[in-house]
């Protein structure tokens, strides 16, 4: 989606152009880390801004959760073969990783150094983690509390500068003699006779990306400026202490160092000698309690045996998870897994939940650790379904589904979970958020309401006691309820799992390996798989009035770069000159040129071997006329729709359609794609654009606004060579600091691609955002997720990930989310060597980066890197990221060191630039 900055807006559109929810690349003079929960306790929060997820069941078929609060990975540990008891038919253990708060200490200590003229400040922490001290100094002439970098002789080895205002120093492990604990600490040497008035710091845990500070403020240790004459002293004039308000009133402070005063001071000398200066210093020691979430390994074990007397299945479930735990359970009769309550008897402390499931409190085991329960289940049932409720807000389930245990029928033996015999089963602990009603329960209620309304209108018609208006009102209510039911159904569609993607991708890769001579298989989601995209315009391109002709002149040069696809700007008549507020879709005379010039540039690009994408804005459309109430919601031109084409929940344009299937764009009427006539007209328009103009595919604008299933419908009708959607929403940040885990963000993009059935790719906004933080803050460890894969869409569904570092919205003159300045080539060294489909921004092609970009594209094509290429991450550390692609190309970005491993392959340098290097296998 593009955003206009024009101030003159026609009356029939919203009174200002919509400013999208966008990423902000914020770098403050001071960091904004996490706050304390109380005056005396430091708390470390998980940095993931996960949305609350509701556990749901019913009938009992729960939906898959998109954003689990915690994740763990379980290994199938079936032990049937070693079971000694012959009547045990099933035995399986599900390892569960959960988070638990542990307590520790932060230590701050000031001691006299080995050289009596110097002092040493020590900051430490005794909790496990990869701790970083983020610190800086204040100088005596500073106004306010701005940070600054300390002098070089104060900076410990291994430190990394953060722009010009701070230093980040890894905290090293040492053995605490007092506690016998492992302590992470940093020692900073303080020299006398300098102009430093205070040291500021916060702590950061690289494992979680979380920060520590106190009450929303930085730690501050004020330093006396040794009482030099005319010195501008900040803080107390005697000794060292912690400023009030920074650490507050803390006990166990001021372990005073021994110092002596020189009694022979000359009062008339006009100066203060060194002994007097040093005698004013006082040492101190302070520790503060902190808490941190750590992973705790637990398990759930389930075994089944046959009772010889009753022939029933005796199921035994136990877990070592502490606390009072509720087993929420039921049984099913077939593979549909519809929940039902088995007949009594039931275990003690069992209650029914809404006639759909049972809840049983697990009983403490004799050992005092963990709890268990035993159930008796009849042979008529085929499966046992359950989840665990730990507290009012936390459930444990199996990847968003219920745990399912198959029950043996008479004479059968089961060797573990028949649905999942593989290793690496992901468990999710999700937040219930106080809502236990399921999707099916909601839709059941809506269906019942519809039935009552239908019965009502039918009976009233028979008695002829209702007016036509009343009957129409009931019908409209039915329509609204149906739309609500559809909206609920759409939101409950399961997330597309990484495992499923991996399987489909592996099938394509194996086919390519087995039949390498076959021509590439073309799919609208991938093209040939070897595509390299050029965005052929920027935010200002419309101003020349002849952009198509300018682009035609560059066609041969673009082809020589190696681009296979070019994305052109929106071609339709538009309220905004950039084209993103379309009006008459069949009027292709725009600010970029006439329809004939458009046809001409497309023809020329085809002649040099480049496919052409049209920028299709399908989410919204500006109206031509007002209705009787003065609302602009009536359309003209060939597609002369009325207000039925506008969604009902867009408050500005009073549409009479159904509710939106996505997020509304408030600057123009949002189109209701659930209407048959709308979809028919849009499919005809896309096919007309393919035939009349010669477009080969589409870049789809603001696809957050409507369901991906509609996109699938449009693409199947227009049969594009390549299609990519712009699904752009905000990544997860905490106080301006990007969270390390962005799984929820990339899951939303992957879910949209899945809704299109993979017929379209999507711009990998997640990768762009993570590259921002990694490069700007020298945190290259961000470029590897918890499984050692790329952390964006690239790591989950590479063939559908269109990677980019800049476009007309984020860069150009708009600059809504500009890539870190001077680091653009590191970004291209990443995207142009990695799997996925890379896209290069027009402004970068015709800039001083031209030669380097051309060389990178040449390396990619020469080594036949494609959207499914194999990637091995070799390093993802603080100052360097390195990877090998297809065993043909090695790359590294960042100031740190990397050399490809020497072995059977010999590597030769292919390209080197500022903080990046590329090698090719000889």
**What does the alpha-carbon distance between residue 192 and residue 196 come to, in Å, rounded to a whole number?**
9
| Residue 50 φ/ψ, nearest 5 degrees | -80, 140
Helix (H, G, I), strand (E, B) or coil at 165: coil
How many other CB atoms sit within 10 Å of the CB of residue 491?
11
Q: Which of 91, 168, 432, 701 is catalytic?
A: 701
- Of 148, 108, 139, which Cα lies nearest the Cα of 248? 108
CA atoms within 13 Å, Cβ hemisphere of 617: 28
Please, which contacts does 410-419 make with residues 24 or more away whose CB atoms are closer than 8 Å? Answer: 410/311, 410/379, 412/89, 413/80, 413/89, 414/89, 414/90, 414/304, 415/78, 415/80, 415/90, 416/76, 416/78, 416/80, 416/90, 416/91, 416/92, 417/76, 417/78, 417/92
**What does the buried/exposed string (b/e) look like for 149-171 if buried means 16 or more CB atoms within 10 Å of the residue's CB?**
bbeeebbeeebbebeebbbbbbb
In Å, the largest CA–CA distance within the chain is 115
| Residue 95 φ/ψ, nearest 5 degrees | -65, 135
Token pair listed for 665:
């764009």
**What does the alpha-carbon distance between residue 467 and residue 319 come to, in Å, rounded to a whole number?**
63
722-725 and 697-700: which strand pairing?
A: parallel
CA distances from 533 to 604, 612, 719, 752, 819 (A): 17, 10, 19, 21, 18
Residue 701 annotated in active site: yes
| Residue 280 CB contacts under 8 Å (≥ 6 apart), including other chains | 224, 226, 227, 238, 239, 259
| Residue 165 CB contacts under 8 Å (≥ 6 apart), including other chains | 29, 30, 136, 146, 147, 148, 149
Token pair listed for 258:
């021994």
Token pair listed for 163:
């722009």
Q: Is the dihedral of CA 394, 400, 402, 404 positive or negative?
A: negative
**What does the alpha-carbon distance between residue 272 and residue 579 come to, in Å, rounded to a whole number?**
72
Q: Which of 436, 726, 785, 809 is catalytic?
A: 726
* In contact, 718 and 683? CB cutoff 8 Å: yes
- In sequence order, what E strands does 223-370 have? 284-306, 313-319, 326-332, 350-353, 357-361, 363-364
Token pair listed for 515:
């039949």
* In contact, 175 and 182? CB cutoff 8 Å: yes
Annotate 679-747 with DSSP letters as a single string: HHHHHHHHHHHHHHT---EEEE--GGGS-HHHHHHHHHHH--SEEEE-------EETTEEPS--HHHHH
Residue 726 annotated in active site: yes
Catalytic site positions: 701, 726
């Amino acid at each position: 989606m593009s955003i206009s900055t024009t101030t003159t807006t026609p009356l029939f559109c919203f009174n200002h152009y919509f400013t999208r929810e966008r990423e902000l690349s914020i770098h403050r003079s001071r960091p904004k880390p996490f706050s304390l929960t109380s005056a005396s306790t430091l708390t470390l929060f998980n940095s993931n801004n996960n949305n609350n997820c509701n556990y749901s069941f019913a009938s009992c078929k729960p939906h898959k959760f998109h954003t689990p609060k915690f994740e763990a990975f379980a290994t199938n540990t079936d032990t049937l073969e070693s079971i000694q008891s012959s009547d045990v038919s099933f035995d399986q253990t599900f390892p569960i990783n959960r988070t638990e708060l542990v307590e520790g200490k932060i230590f701050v200590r000031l001691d006299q150094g080995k050289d009596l003229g110097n002092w040493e400040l020590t900051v430490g922490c005794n909790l496990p983690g990869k701790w970083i001290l983020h610190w800086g100094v204040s100088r005596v002439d500073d106004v306010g509390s701005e940070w600054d970098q300390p002098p070089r002789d104060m900076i410990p080895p291994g430190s990394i500068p953060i722009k010009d205002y701070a230093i980040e120093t890894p905290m090293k492990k040492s053995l605490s003699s007092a506690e016998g604990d492992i302590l992470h600490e940093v020692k900073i040497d303080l020299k006398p006779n300098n102009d430093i008035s205070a040291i500021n710091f916060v702590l950061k845990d690289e494992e979680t990306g979380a920060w520590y500070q106190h009450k929303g403020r930085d730690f501050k240790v004020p330093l006396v400026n040794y009482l030099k004459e005319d010195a501008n002293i900040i803080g107390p004039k005697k000794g060292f202490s912690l400023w009030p308000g920074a650490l507050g009133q803390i006990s166990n402070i001021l372990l005073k160092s021994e110092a002596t005063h020189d009694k022979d001071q000359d009062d008339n000398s006009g100066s203060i000698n060194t002994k007097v200066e040093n005698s004013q210093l006082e040492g101190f020691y302070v520790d503060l309690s902190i808490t941190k979430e750590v992973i705790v390994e637990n398990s759930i074990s389930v075994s089944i045996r046959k009772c010889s007397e009753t022939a029933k299945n005796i199921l035994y479930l136990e877990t070592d998870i502490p606390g009072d735990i509720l087993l929420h359970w039921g049984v099913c009769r077939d593979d549909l897994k519809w929940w039902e309550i088995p007949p009594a008897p039931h275990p003690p402390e069992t209650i029914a939940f809404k006639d759909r499931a049972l809840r049983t409190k697990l009983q403490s085991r004799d050992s005092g650790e963990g709890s268990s329960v035993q159930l008796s289940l009849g042979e008529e049932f085929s499966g046992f379904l359950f989840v665990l409720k730990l507290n009012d807000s936390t459930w444990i389930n199996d990847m968003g589904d219920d745990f399912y245990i198959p029950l043996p029928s008479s004479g059968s033996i089961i060797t573990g979970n028949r649905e999942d015999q593989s290793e690496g089963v992901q468990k999710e602990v999700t937040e219930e958020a106080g809502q236990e009603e399921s999707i099916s329960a909601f839709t059941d209620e809506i269906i019942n309401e519809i039935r009552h309304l239908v019965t009502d209108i039918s009976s009233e018609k028979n008695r002829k006691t209702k007016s036509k208006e009343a009957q129409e009102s009931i019908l409209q209510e039915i329509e609204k309820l149906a739309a609500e039911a559809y909206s609920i159904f759409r939101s409950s569609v399961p997330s597309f799992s990484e495992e499923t993607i991996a399987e489909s991708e592996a099938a394509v890769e194996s086919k390519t390996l087995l039949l390498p001579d076959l021509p590439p298989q073309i799919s609208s989601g991938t093209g040939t798989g070897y595509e390299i995209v050029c965005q052929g315009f920027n935010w200002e391109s419309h101003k020349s009035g002849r952009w198509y002709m300018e682009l035609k002149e560059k066609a041969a040069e673009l082809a020589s770069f190696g681009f296979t696809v070019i994305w052109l700007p929106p071609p339709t008549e538009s309220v905004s000159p950039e084209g993103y507020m379309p009006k008459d879709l069949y009027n292709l005379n725009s600010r970029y040129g006439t329809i004939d010039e458009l046809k001409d540039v497309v023809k020329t690009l085809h002649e040099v071997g480049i496919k052409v994408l049209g920028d299709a804005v399908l989410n919204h459309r500006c109206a031509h006329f007002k209705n009787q109430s003065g609302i602009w919601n009536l359309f003209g031109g060939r597609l002369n729709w009325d207000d039925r084409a506008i969604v009902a929940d867009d408050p500005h344009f009073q549409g009479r359609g159904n509710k939106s299937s996505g997020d509304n764009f408030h600057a123009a009427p949002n189109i209701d794609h659930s209407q048959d006539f709308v979809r028919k007209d849009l499919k005809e328009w896309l096919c007309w654009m393919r035939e009349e103009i010669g477009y080969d595919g589409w870049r789809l604008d603001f696809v957050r606004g409507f369901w991906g299933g509609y996109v699938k419908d449009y693409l199947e009708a227009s049969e594009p060579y390549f299609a990519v959607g712009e699904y752009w929403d905000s990544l997860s940040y905490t106080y301006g600091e990007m969270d390390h885990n962005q799984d929820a963000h990339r899951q939303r993009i992957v879910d949209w691609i899945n809704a299109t059935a993979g017929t379209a790719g999507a711009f990998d906004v997640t990768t762009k955002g993570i590259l921002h933080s990694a490069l700007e803050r020298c945190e290259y460890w961000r470029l590897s997720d918890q499984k050692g894969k790329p952390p964006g869409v690239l790591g989950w569904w590479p063939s559908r990930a269109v990677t980019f570092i800049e476009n007309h919205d984020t860069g150009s003159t708009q600059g809504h989310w500009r890539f870190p300045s001077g680091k653009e080539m590191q970004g291209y060294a990443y995207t142009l060597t990695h799997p996925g489909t890379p896209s290069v921004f027009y402004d970068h092609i015709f800039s001083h980066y031209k030669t380097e970009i051309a060389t990178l594209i040449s390396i990619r094509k020469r080594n036949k890197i494609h959207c499914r290429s194999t990637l091995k991450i070799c390093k993802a550390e603080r100052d360097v990221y390195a990877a090998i692609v297809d065993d043909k190309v090695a790359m590294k970005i960042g100031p740190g060191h990397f050399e490809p491993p020497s072995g059977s392959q010999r590597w030769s340098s292919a390209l080197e630039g500022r903080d990046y290097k590329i090698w090719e296998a000889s």
